[in-house]
Amino acid sequence: MADCVSKVELTVSCSNLLDKDVGSKSDPLCVLLQSSGADKWMELGRTERLKNTSDPSFSQRLRLDYHFETVQNLKLGVYDIDNSTSDLGDDDYLGGVESRLASGGDQGQQSHCFGAGGQKT
């Protein structure tokens, strides 16, 4: 059977993000990752960076291919960006969510939110 693929667009907004900047609010950006195997994640896209906000509503949508009857594990991570490098290792992690994209009949769908300390919320 041929692989049936559809396009999915995600719109992301957040509220009450931590303020990691001194004297101003965070400058958030959201990253979409997809599992590519044992503890390996591949970046699929990023939103724009918004300045000085704890309640971002990103206008740039995140797009991915949805493969019918295939479970796709996804992560959204929100970071406070304070430089012009693309490497997120030097930016503050504000929080995120892990979820599964699967067909509507999948009874095992779960989402887990994570705060800046990595704890489930």
In the chain, what are the domains? 5-115 (2.60.40.150)
Residue 98 pLDDT > 90: yes
Taking Cα atoms as reference points, which of 34, 80, 28, 84 lies closest to residue 59? 28
Grade residue 88 by pLDDT with cuts at 50, 70 and 90: very high
Chain CA centroid to CA 53, Å? 17
Residue 42 pLDDT > 90: yes
Exposed/middle/buried for residue 29 (C-beta within 10 Å: 0-12, 13-18, 19+): buried
From CA 1, how far away is CA 115, in angstroms rounded? 41
